[in-house]
Structure 1
Amino acid sequence: MTTTLGTASASPGEIDTGRLEVGETRDGSPFGLPVAVINGAEPGKTLYVQAASDGDELNGVGVLSRAVPRIDPTELSGTILAVGLVNYHAFQVAEHRNPIDDTKMNRTYPGNESGTSSERIAHATFQIAREADLIVDLHQGSTSRMIDEVRVRCGHRHRLHESCLELARVFALECGHILDQKGPEGQLARAAPNEGIPTIDPELGGAVGWDEGSIEKGVAGLFNVLRYYGFLEDEGELVEQTRATGFDQYGSPVGGLVRFEPSLGERVAAGDTLFEVTTPFGESKATVTADNDGIFWRSRRLPQVATGEYVCSVGTDLEVI
């Protein structure tokens, strides 16, 4: 059966790309999101994958640009539906939030077809996603430095928690870390499980840019999903990974320049120094230590901080699964 997404249309064993029209720009010109349909030669599950719902998180775009050309639809069972970049307006100006309505796109799901610019785009993409059996929403740490990890955002008590966690373990083969913590309202990884669809939110590294190492980990994760869930013949695998169910965030007690003690991904113990704040001349003003054992998970990209400004995060309540 032919599968259509926007202007992309593919019969079994074919791939096609096109655009999904979702509105008009300020001069009245129509605009559309880049989409792809990979229709397998054999029937099977449907995977929905999207990138750049936050406009400056580019590693997910890199994953799709690497992965899609490597997928042979004649060897595929099932269908892959992909939106190459969701936050159209923010992507054009390399910003995190949609500048049309100053909104973070990944807080607007399931969207509203009569709402703001972001809500309309969220609604259009959610209508595609809700027809899938599995969802992968590709992200990265935006302006922060961060380890490669995968997030389960539905919450431990959700009826789909174990299915989402299994999908995270499959994708996180190369990343090795999972944050299993309920996310904010409006995230796709919160909204889609309510529709009965296992969904994950891979955070592929961090800081604004295009990181080849994180991109290749994302490509490997995506292919492991395809193998594990039967889209490809080769069987996917599960390996031991570290899950964090808590997240300690640290701000600066003073203003100055930050010097970090641990490296990203390094284990820390309660009482270990996380960072020191100095004057521009290197004089120490404050030292901040870890409250709990954990993994040094995320940190700010630039060293200058004001009093109370975010500095870093530690993943806590660790378990190997």
Structure 2
Amino acid sequence: MQIGTAVCGQGERQKGYLKVAELAFGCDVRLPVIIVRGVEDGPTLWVNGGVHGEEVSGIFAIQKLVNSIDPQELKGTLVVTPVSNPLAIKGIQKFTPEDQLDMNQQFPGREKGWLSEQMAYYLFKEVKTYADYLVDLHGLGVSYDSVPYTVYKNMAGVPDKINKKTEELTLLMGVKANCRVDLATAKGEFPGAIAGAIDAQCLLNGIPAFMFELGGKVDWQIIDFAVGSIRNMMTHLGMICSDVKRATGQIIITERDFVNSSHAGLTIPEIESGKIIPANTTLNKIVNFIGEELETLSLPVDAYILGIRTNPVVNSGEILVGVGTKWDQVN
């Protein structure tokens, strides 16, 4: 197997780089790639991270995951790209600084497109070639307190068996909250081309894939939990030997929303992530710099709190709370 400069035979672990773009001052934009191939044949799992520059927990999780896998005991192949947008990482921001595009809305990319589209194109070209399954690691960023949760998409044109396999693998992550986003009916989602996400494009190409959100700021307990979750999935896929763990008390969130501020100032959170709160509970208050209350936020329905902003300085239009508003108990 060869991805960029990484060339890996069976029973080996190899590292290299995949060139995805060029910058004006003569520097190549390269993505780090690590391949671990087992001595026996099996599926190929691709774990991606770092598509958004302020979400770094996935990078650490990928590093720990790779170091935990012995190629002599692996069936199949683990491919990881811990930093899929190094320009956003450099800028410590969600978007690619050079073109201000969200790379995770540009897949499958364009070979002759904008910079972020070109980066997406060359990465996804390899994913389509090799991946049987994909996990895309994210986080809400350092401005939020959040519990780990998953997001998987239902899309027109995707066979039922792919959607069912995706949900099955998603639940193996063992988190309580699992968001199922139906792109045909989804309301309250992030603006932009959600179907341009790498996991969505994988689904359209017959590759079960989902997003795994690893909290807000870097939390080493969540990182270790994520490593164990992905290893649990690899056990289920027959890639490593262990006992498959199945969580209880999980929910599938069928509708979610993001509550935005109408005023600027300082936000004061009134609730905690990971809790179910009744309708009309105060979520946040916003005060100005002399302490006058400008806004109190609440929802007219019961809600599961996925994450809440803890960085107090906000403009109008900032996301303050991410919530699930409808859900089903699954186990």
With the length of structure 2 as denominator, give the TM-score of the two structures.
Answer: 0.89
Asked if 1:302 is matched to 2:298, the reply is no
Structure 2 partner of 1:134: 133
Match of 1:238 among 246, 251, 259: 246
Structure 1 partner of 2:74: 76
**Alpha-carbon offset, residue 78 of structure 1:** 0.4
Q: Is the 8 A contact 1:156 1:181 kept in 2?
A: no
**Alpha-carbon offset, residue 155 of structure 1:** 4.1
Amino acid at match of 2:122: A
Q: Aligned residue pairs: how many?
A: 315
Structure 2 partner of 1:258: 267
**Alpha-carbon offset, residue 164 of structure 1:** 1.2
Amino acid at match of 2:117: E
- Structure 2 residue matching 1:272: 3-state secondary structure: coil
In structure 2, how many angstroms separate the alpha carbons of the residues matched to 1:135 and 1:228? Answer: 14
Structure 2 partner of 1:181: 181
In structure 1, how many angstroms separate the alpha carbons of the residues matched to 2:254 and 2:157? Answer: 13
Report 1:154-303 matches (<5 A): 154-155=154-155, 158-159=158-159, 160-171=162-173, 173=174, 175-182=175-182, 184-207=194-217, 210-240=218-248, 241-303=250-312
Structure 1 partner of 2:190: none
In structure 2, how many angstroms separate the alpha carbons of the residues matched to 1:139 and 1:308? Answer: 22
Asked if 1:13 is matched to 2:11, the reply is yes
**Alpha-carbon offset, residue 304 of structure 1:** 3.1
Report 1:18-33 matches (<5 A): 18-33=16-31
The 4+ residue runs of structure 1 with deviation greater than 6 A are none
- Structure 1 residue matching 2:140: 3-state secondary structure: coil
- Structure 2 residue matching 1:106: 3-state secondary structure: helix
Amino acid at match of 2:4: G
In structure 1, how many angstroms separate the alpha carbons of the residues matched to 2:303 and 2:253? Answer: 8
Amino acid at match of 1:205: G
What CA deviation, in whole Å up to 9, does each residue of 1:265-303 have, x standing for no partner?
111111222122334454444332222112112222322
- Structure 2 residue matching 1:129: 3-state secondary structure: helix
Match of 2:49 among 40, 48, 51: 51
In structure 1, how many angstroms separate the alpha carbons of the residues matched to 2:318 and 2:28? Answer: 40
Change (3 A) 1:47 1:26: same
Higher deviation after alignment, 150-159 or 111-120:
150-159
Higher deviation after alignment, 266-275 or 244-253:
244-253
**Alpha-carbon offset, residue 56 of structure 1:** 2.0
Structure 2 partner of 1:150: 150
For the aligned residue pairs, the C-alpha RMSD in angstroms reads: 1.9
In structure 1, how many angstroms separate the alpha carbons of the residues matched to 2:243 and 2:35? Answer: 23
Change (3 A) 1:157 1:237: farther
Which structure 2 residue ranges, 5 or more long, are not aligned?
Answer: 184-193
Amino acid at match of 1:44: G
- Structure 2 residue matching 1:273: 3-state secondary structure: coil
- Structure 1 residue matching 2:10: 3-state secondary structure: coil
Q: Is the 8 A contact 1:268 1:290 kept in 2?
A: no
Q: Is the 8 A contact 1:55 1:95 kept in 2?
A: yes
- Structure 2 residue matching 1:291: 3-state secondary structure: coil
Q: Percent identity?
A: 28
Which structure 1 residue ranges, 5 or more long, are not aligned?
Answer: none
- Structure 2 residue matching 1:181: 3-state secondary structure: strand
Q: Is the 8 A contact 1:144 1:298 kept in 2?
A: no
In structure 1, how many angstroms separate the alpha carbons of the residues matched to 2:126 and 2:245? Answer: 28
In structure 2, how many angstroms separate the alpha carbons of the residues matched to 1:157 and 1:23? Answer: 31
Change (3 A) 1:142 1:292: same
- Structure 1 residue matching 2:321: 3-state secondary structure: strand
In structure 2, how many angstroms separate the alpha carbons of the residues matched to 1:260 and 1:127? Answer: 43
